[in-house]
Each structure stands twice: as structure tokens, then as C-alpha cells.
Structure 1
């Protein structure tokens, strides 16, 4: 068995033991993001609704919404994340969210 399924099973066991642990929910969303984005979104939604102060959620939830072709929803998530991260004093996260928001809005002028 490869490490990914073992890690996923461990996370699911942790989640079953404590379904309100924001870090475990975030870890599950991250684990599912690549291969099962719809399932990842379920966990991101849970974080956004039940743990709105968990700053790490906003960037990845916004990116996933962009991947789903929902830039308007992504914009809302980025904007809320900016408020939350600034309130928490997490300026690095705020900077990343601002960059993601600018790119989402087509305001990213960097040469790629």
C-alpha cells in the first residue's frame, strides 16, 4: 500500500475521532484536492462555515473554485480571507490572498 492511502486512512480515523478539528478537516481537503476535488470542496465548505477563522482555508478554497470555473465565488472567498487573515495578523497569508484575488480579477500584470 502506498503512503497516500495510508495517510488518508489515518486522517479519516482522526476525523472520525474528532470531526471538529479544523486542522484535520484542512488536511483532508488537501489530501483530496488533486484527485477528488469535489470531495475536497466538501471539506473546504465545512471549514468556511464552521471554522471561519482558519486562515489557511481561503487561498486553497478560492483556487479550487477557480478550477471549478467559478471566479465570482472565488473572489468572495479571497475577499473574506483577506479580512480574516488581516484580523488575525497573518500578513503573509493576506499577501498571498491579495495576489490570488488580483490574478482572479485579471489585475495580475506580471510577466509569466
Structure 2
């Protein structure tokens, strides 16, 4: 069984598990299935907005497909969330990605 199928099996028991959904999205990114990854990342952002790891990866995905405005928006939202949650390391990574994109 490949990783995607394993993750989907785990998700049957806990469909709202943020980490499992995030892991599934990153597997789709690795396969180059941007549409499937984006669908999962967007669901995470909407359903579990405090799962801050999503913002960096959705931003990078948007950058890769040429959606710089959406990438910038994702980074900004992630910066807000990580600041509010006191997640300094993640905030620094998001700030770096944001600055690389906008400067």
C-alpha cells in the first residue's frame, strides 16, 4: 500500500485530523497533483485555520502555479495566525517566504 492509500485509510477513522489531511496534501504536492493538494489545503485553511503549517505550503503551491497574489494572501494569513499563537519559528519561515515573494 502506498503512502496516499495509507493516509486515506487512517482518515476513514479520523476524517478531520489536521495532520493527516496535511500529510495527504503534501503527498499530492510531491506527485505534482496540484489540484488535489490545493483542494485539501483549502479545506484545512477553512476548517482548521489554526493549523499554521498549511499556510506556508499553500503559499508555495500558489507560487508554483503562478498565483502570486494568492500566495501573498496565504503568507499574510499565516503570519497573523502564527503571531497570535506565538509560533515564532513558523512565523519566521512565513516571513521569509513572504519577503522573498514581495521584495
Structures share fold, TM-score greater than 0.5: yes
Identify the TM-score tier after normalising by the shorter chain: over 0.9
Shift of 1:104: 1.1
Matches for 1:30-41 after TM superposition, within 5 Å: 30-35=26-31, 36-41=33-38
Structure 2 residues not aligned, in runs of 5+: none
TM-score for the superposition, normalised by structure 1? 0.87
Shift of 1:6: 2.0
Correspondence for 1:110: none
Larger Rg: 1
Matches for 1:15-94 after TM superposition, within 5 Å: 15-35=11-31, 36-94=33-91
Structure 1 residues not aligned, in runs of 5+: 108-112
TM-score for the superposition, normalised by structure 2? 0.94
List structure 1 segments (4+ residues) > 4 angstroms apart after TM superposition: none
How many residue pairs were aligned?
Answer: 102
Shift of 1:45: 0.5
